[in-house]
Structure 1
């Protein structure tokens, strides 16, 4: 098992690395060259800044049973199709039971933004979200 992190805009990279290190799991942090991440334990992979470069890198390397951390529902869907386990930055485990609804909401929201210039404001991240992520990741690993 390996953990892959879609690190562009991911607020839990440090927590994911900490958990991977604690359980001696190889972790690959995939980022574009505009994101600064340095860690002595994690494998840091830098891809170009073009859209979906990190996604394609991850999809082309995951294996069945690997864990992918991403807030990108499209990437999660591709990873699930390859047998990977997926979790978002808030600790939501993404699986075949909830991915269709997530993709549908993403489509509807994109359509609304294009047609009506409606934009949603995201709530500020709170410490509880970090703890929820940590617990869900450990659960997904199997400990």
Structure 2
């Protein structure tokens, strides 16, 4: 089991590092620019990808496997990871599942269309302290589920 972080604009990297360290998991921090990572931790691997669209998503989707965990706010990336047998958790602690990913993709597309039509302005709600707590719980639950073989 390894953890893959879609690192660009990820507000829970530090929390993910702490949980992964406790479980002695390898963490791949993937982005198109360097982000802070723990120094001297051989289990944390920074991956810098080109600045082309979806380069980080493509790298994660190519390298993630069954039993791994992806941390991302990108719903299409979460869907790609689920197809490979991995778990996917949003940065707000929402676990994406085979049962929920279709609706999440549909809502994403609907909201994009409504924004483009001017019917809705703004994006998702701001990251809140409760999101951090929910994320920590979801990550721990995902790790335990993988350990139990679910």
Q: TM-score, normalised by structure 2?
A: 0.88
Contact kept, 8 Å, 2:7 with 2:35, in 1: the verdict is no
Once the two structures are TM-superposed, the CA of residue 39 in structure 1 deviates from its matched residue by 2.0
Q: TM-score, normalised by structure 1?
A: 0.92
Once the two structures are TM-superposed, the CA of residue 117 in structure 1 deviates from its matched residue by 6.7
Aligned to 2:23: 23
Once the two structures are TM-superposed, the CA of residue 4 in structure 1 deviates from its matched residue by 0.2
Contact kept, 8 Å, 1:91 with 1:137, in 2: the verdict is yes
Aligned to 1:3: 3
User: Which portions of structure 1, spanning 4 or more consecutive aligned residues, are displaced by more than 6 angstroms?
Assistant: none
Return 5+ residue gaps in structure 1 as ranges. none
Contact kept, 8 Å, 1:37 with 1:44, in 2: the verdict is no
Alignment of 1:1-80 (within 5 A): 1-33=1-33, 35-40=34-39, 41=41, 42-80=44-82
CA distance in 1, matches of 2:110, 2:72: 20
Contact kept, 8 Å, 2:92 with 2:127, in 1: the verdict is no
Once the two structures are TM-superposed, the CA of residue 131 in structure 1 deviates from its matched residue by 1.1
Number of equivalent positions: 142
RMSD between aligned residues: 1.5
